Amino acid sequence: MKIRGKLILSAIGIMALIIVYIIVMAVLSDKNLTGENTPGPVATVTPGSTPVQTPANPEPPSPSDNPVPSDNPDATDNPTDPGNQDNYPGRPGNPGGLVIRTDYEVFKPNEVGEIPIVMFHNFIEAYEEKTEKEFTTTFAEFEQLLETLYNEGYRLISMADFIDCNISVPAGCKPMVFTFDDGTPGQFNLIEENGTLKVNPKSAVGVMVEFSKKHPDFGLRGIFYVNMDRGNETFKGQGTLRERFEILLSLGFELGTHTWGHVDFSDAKNNNAERIQEAIGKNQEKAEEILPGLRFYSMALPFGSQPVNKDLRPLLVRGVYNNTEYYNESILAVGANPSVPSISVKYKSDYVSRIRAQGRVPVDCDLTWWLPRMTSSRMFISDGDPSTIVVPEEKLDEVNQDRLGGKKLITY
């Protein structure tokens, strides 16, 4: 696990987090075993647990759960093929039980290919006449989308792992990042049942928790970009804001900053150093007040806007407000392409592309538009081993070798 920023962990905090994680996983696996269909999760609150912005270890996938998608007609092999069993759990150097393959010529991994980062906003039960058209999804459509993405070979990774290019998805699969802006209750909220706080099954997180029981290898991952000025309105429902954050983090999700006040940095009145540092620093300051130790390491730009004055843009990355320092390792835009991975020479951490999820009405460059265009030849196809970067010989120039960070570069 990588510890980010100035996160200070006490031994007690680590213990508390582990306890919460064990409880969550125990309940999840219990539901799997019993086949019980009761909606909703699953997390109990451990008071005083330290927020740790380090995603929990991914579920080790079982080989039989892992289709290997490919639109390459030559790639006839797949990891469930008995001939490939050397590459499965138990393989030396693979304690996580990941599906790793080294027959590169057959399944053509490309770990400098693009990674889609999907942007979600609102989730509701059913559309009404006045429902906003482009940024709203129903729970049923969302569930269907998860199924589609799973079947097309996408697997969720955390923002932290995207930043580090630490890709733990099975060989032949494609990493994807889910991002959620504005902290709306449809994304995540808590309900109280018999005095216990639970994730509302009628929320995107509730749908994802349920989906992960069916497909644990899909990944229960995503980052939520919040505006602390919204206070108790963020993930509105039962529980305190602190409890909401704690439960979200304990499930393996992440929190990011979306500024104090949903600030439009392209607006002339915000085009100065003080306003920029206030917008980001105050959001960080308040986050730590709500949940001591919570550090944001990623920001989604409200409206996707940057300061017009380019000299001010470094302040989006790093700055200080009221003695609170902040550092955004990735800054996300709004549109409209899959992103290059952080290992690419083209990667710019201060303006990372996202694709909007399809809303009520499809539009060009939304996820539905992109899905058929995200072919194997352009996307990141994993070899399953997070400690290697495997690329076709002709793409070697696209790898920024300064960012390998100890990973082994392999060409074929």
Measured from the CB atom, is 181 or 383 closer to Zn ion?
Answer: 181
Q: How far apart are CA 396 and CA 399, in angstroms?
A: 6
Neighbouring-strand partners of residue 254:
223
Measured from the CB atom, is 244 or 354 closer to Zn ion?
Answer: 354
Measured from the CB atom, is 84 or 179 closer to Zn ion?
Answer: 179
| CB of residue 262 to Zn ion, shortest distance in Å | 6
Q: How far apart are CA 269 and CA 274, in angstroms?
A: 11
| CB of residue 268 to Zn ion, shortest distance in Å | 20
Measured from the CB atom, is 175 or 302 closer to Zn ion?
Answer: 302
Q: How far apart are CA 381 and CA 120, in angstroms?
A: 24
340 is written with which tokens? 């290059």
| CB of residue 258 to Zn ion, shortest distance in Å | 6
Measured from the CB atom, is 186 or 341 closer to Zn ion?
Answer: 186
What Rg do the C-alpha atoms of the chain give, in angstroms?
A: 21
| CB of residue 209 to Zn ion, shortest distance in Å | 24
| CB of residue 226 to Zn ion, shortest distance in Å | 10
Measured from the CB atom, is 114 or 181 closer to Zn ion?
Answer: 181
**Do residues 287 and 255 touch, judged by C-beta distance below 8 A?**
yes
| CB of residue 359 to Zn ion, shortest distance in Å | 14
Measured from the CB atom, is 7 or 334 closer to Zn ion?
Answer: 334
| Contacting residues toward Zn ion, per CB under 5 A | 181-182, 302
Q: How far apart are CA 373 and CA 71, in angstroms?
A: 11
| CB of residue 354 to Zn ion, shortest distance in Å | 12
Q: How far apart are CA 121 and CA 359, in angstroms?
A: 9
Q: How far apart are CA 217 and CA 98, in angstroms?
A: 10
Measured from the CB atom, is 54 or 257 closer to Zn ion?
Answer: 257
Measured from the CB atom, is 259 or 358 closer to Zn ion?
Answer: 259
Half-sphere exposure of 137 (CA within 13 A, CB side): 27
45 is written with which tokens? 């609150």
**Do residues 189 and 123 touch, judged by C-beta distance below 8 A?**
no
Exposed / middle / buried, residue 11 (Cβ in 10 Å: 0-12, 13-18, 19+)? exposed
At 387, is the secondary structure helix, strand, or coil?
A: coil
| Residue where the block lists tokens 């599906």 | 99
| CB of residue 375 to Zn ion, shortest distance in Å | 31
**Do residues 398 and 345 touch, judged by C-beta distance below 8 A?**
yes
Neighbouring-strand partners of residue 15:
none
| CB of residue 365 to Zn ion, shortest distance in Å | 18
Cβ neighbours of residue 293 closer than 8 Å, sequence gap 6 or more: 7, 8, 9, 13, 50, 51, 52
